Amino acid sequence: MQNGQHQSGQGQNGQGQEAVEFGPELETKVAEIISRYPKKKSAIMPALYMAQEHIGWLTDAAIEWVAEKVEESPAHVRSVATFYTMYYKKPVGQYHLQICRTLSCMLCGARDLTAYIKDRLTVDAQVITEDGLWSFEEVECLGSCGSAPMIQINDVFFENLSVESLGSLMDKIAKEKPDLRYSAKKETLGEGMPEAPRSQAWNAEMVKFNKS
Ligand code: FES
């Protein structure tokens, strides 16, 4: 059971859900974030992130908590959550891979990356591996088309990937368990993986360009 959860119920998506205690620290933080905006509803996105960080995904209770805080309907808050793939509508693994399948990434090898992930994890999309470490899904353009093909793992982009570099990256993540999450409570991104393929591939190209 995760932080702050107790008591089972049945969620809108048919999955078992649990009531949630958000606690005074989160209540104070969300109130502080809401106070930065002229309208409470402007804080929907950081509040959703905060609820997701606390529970691991956006349960009905999380949507309702955010709706109450920003004084909007749960339906409106849910419409925001369902628009963005960075909000999880189902439980995910410790590392959730979001493979971009839109044009640039598709032309540069996204299908091969997806095939590799399916083969390696032997689970379907949106299903968590038995060890709890991984889950994956295909998503539409993540706005990094110039460095296709790319994958978002938790809240960090990994770009210019090949099947080989993705394999090494996943090995490294499984071994080192880096923090790849954005924390809405601390308002910081985890330490990431500075030496990951993203910078290697980009820097190699820049070096070539600068030498010519
Ligand atoms: S097409 Fe993949 S990031 Fe835009």
Q: How far is the CA of 6 from the centre of ligand 1 (A)?
A: 39
Q: What is the pLDDT of residue 197?
A: 65
- Looking at per-residue pLDDT, the higher value among 156 and 1 belongs to 156
Which uninterrupted H or E stretch holds 40?
none
Instruction: State pLDDT tens for residues 117-145.
Output: 999 999 999 999 999 999 999 999 999 99
Mean pLDDT of 138-155: 95
Would the CB of 85 count as within 6 Å of ligand 1?
no
- The dihedrals phi and psi of 19, each to the nearest 5 degrees, come to -65, 155
Would the CB of 141 count as within 6 Å of ligand 1?
yes
Whole-structure pTM value = 0.84
d(CA 200, CA 198): 6
Q: How far is the CA of 141 from the centre of ligand 1 (A)?
A: 4
Q: What is the pLDDT of residue 198?
A: 59
111, 120 Cβ separation under 8 angstroms: no
Q: How far is the CA of 19 from the centre of ligand 1 (A)?
A: 37
Checking if the pLDDT of 11 tops 70, the result is no
Q: Which of 6-10, 24-28, 58-62, 134-138 is the least confident region?
A: 6-10
Q: Where are the domains of the chain?
A: 5-83, 95-211
Would the CB of 113 count as within 6 Å of ligand 1?
no
Closest CA to 112 of 170, 164, 171: 164
Give me 42's structure tokens.
């402007």
Which uninterrupted H or E stretch holds 188?
strand 188-189
d(CA 207, CA 212): 9
Q: What is the pLDDT of residue 42?
A: 97
In sequence order, what are the beta bridge partners of 68?
none
Domain 5-83: top CATH class: mainly alpha
Q: Which residue has the tokens 């088309």?
A: 145
Domain 95-211 bears CATH identifier 3.40.50.720: no
Give me the numbers of helices (H) and strands (E) for the chain, helices first please: 8, 8
